[in-house]
Structure 1
């Protein structure tokens, strides 16, 4: 059993209008208006003074229980959309591990599923803990820098921002229990940002149905139906694509938490967990009901995880 024992997030206080990104992309005024009116993009968050390590460390330090359980943390996983670059000895996860006093933990990055790597890291943390002490924990970190060049290479209509999340994962105890995890790779689109025009068009056409199929597979693996879910907590690429997915699933759009699309933009692997924290704070996740986390990464990787809420909806820390 994999249990999400605590979650905390960091959302930079500075909001930049999507028009700034539109200028970086050299879009016309009409194209910029389409981003806002059709795709539901308005603002995105950045912290230009923070390093990549700062972003994830701020989320981790927001976990009230971190100090009490630090000695039990065996693994630190940093889920990233973009593979690490630069000197091997100084990736963010290593410096964060040291700064948090977790030098006894094994630390590494998880990038294989791009923006869906956050869900992969949670699943991997559970698998690692299955062979460890019953009281052992893993710390899953998400968040990375959104440099201006990123917006020029993303194949979907989205604007990337900066937000981070930290999760304490265990094999037992209080928290929300993972019921299922499904992922699927559509290898035709393995070139990601380098896809030629016709391939990119097919990606956009196939995207909603493939994502809907993976959501249905995760729900079925959990032994549930869509009606059992209280909410879908998505990645925040844009509103339009999720409205299409909702229609394919036969769900009203308000069953998908889209409140942060115009607030944070797409914050790489952090989106589903940031949305979780905001949904809990807004009393949108009833206690005892399952919910679903979803994400899609370039490559193309589609992922969904069904989680059973336990206790009161405010029971997670952070």
Structure 2
């Protein structure tokens, strides 16, 4: 059974207020006030001194169990929100592998699920390891991106983007963080919402219902109930959106780990994995707990995964 062997993350040291980001992106001041007042957003983390390979490498460096096990890593999957993250000819994933000593790994990227691609990568990594049949093999899932263009600074009516990164070691089996159920659905009628010049009003209206339905599908696939979940590790879009989704689910908002929303913003595909690290550190995720990771990618893809810590 697919399991997370370890999750590490990197939060840049530089905190930037969302007002500064909004001014640079030409956002309406009223929208930024709404972000602060109702959405629970305050600042994001940025790393102007780090390029993409260094930012991803910092997350890999947070993995304490990787040193000495580099030869076991069979696959490296970089889960991306956008299809182009580096100039033509640059190979940041291959550079990260070389720096980490992952000389035996097949490295590739995943896109098309937007910010939900990280959970797709987790599921795919487990499938690849299962098909290989090597019980000692590992896969490495990388997530997080740079806000290198104005279009990637913020999503109108939704969130502000940060640059935290994460790295997750995936094993074909394990006693902890076992993947019990995964659900994913794509609503192609919202494909024009990416890049997000303006979100379709119908998408904003349906977003929470569609996410709630996907969460229920993942819970059912895991053979558990919503009441069994100790915590939800969300994508950090905003607090208001999760309050509405919890209302759809009949789930207490306090069950959702929202601590990072005010301090990291939405970090592309990395959010659920960053939240995993911080929920553990905060004592919100304890051995034996059932928990759910969830994410939404513009385009629009909804994903959820149930695991037992």
- Would you call these one fold, judging by a TM-score over 0.5? yes
Structure 1 residue runs of 5 or longer lacking an equivalent are 310-318
How does 1:1-318 map onto structure 2 within 5 Å?
1-84=1-84, 86=86, 89-132=89-132, 133-151=134-152, 154-193=155-194, 200-309=200-309
Matched residue of 1:68: which SS?
coil
Q: CA RMSD in A?
A: 1.7
Q: CA, structure 1 residues 246+289, in 2 after alignment: closer, same or farther (shift >3 Å)?
A: same
Q: Indicate conservation of the 8 Å contact 1:155/1:200, yes or no.
A: no
User: What TM-score results when the alignment is normalised by the length of structure 2?
Assistant: 0.95
Structure 2 residue runs of 5 or longer lacking an equivalent are none
TM superposition shift of 1:75: 0.5
Matched residue of 1:131: which SS?
helix
Q: CA, structure 1 residues 280+131, in 2 after alignment: closer, same or farther (shift >3 Å)?
A: same
Matched residue of 1:9: which SS?
strand
Matched residue of 1:245: which SS?
helix
Distance 1:235 1:195 in 2: 17
Q: CA, structure 1 residues 89+103, in 2 after alignment: closer, same or farther (shift >3 Å)?
A: farther
TM superposition shift of 1:53: 0.8
TM superposition shift of 1:24: 2.2
Q: Which moved more, 1:142-151 or 1:234-243?
A: 142-151
TM superposition shift of 1:89: 4.6
Q: Indicate conservation of the 8 Å contact 2:156/2:197, yes or no.
A: no
Matched residue of 2:155: which SS?
coil
TM superposition shift of 1:82: 0.9
Q: CA, structure 1 residues 195+95, in 2 after alignment: closer, same or farther (shift >3 Å)?
A: closer
1:43-91, CA deviations, whole angstroms, 9 ceiling, x for partnerless residues? 0000001011111110101111111211100101111111135566532
TM superposition shift of 1:175: 2.8
TM superposition shift of 1:205: 0.3
The list of structure 1 runs, each at least 4 consecutive aligned residues, that deviate by more than 6 angstroms after superposition, is none
TM superposition shift of 1:25: 3.3
TM superposition shift of 1:209: 0.1
Matched residue of 2:108: which SS?
strand
TM superposition shift of 1:147: 2.6
TM superposition shift of 1:289: 1.7
Matched residue of 1:230: which SS?
strand
Distance 2:229 2:293 in 1: 11
TM superposition shift of 1:256: 0.7
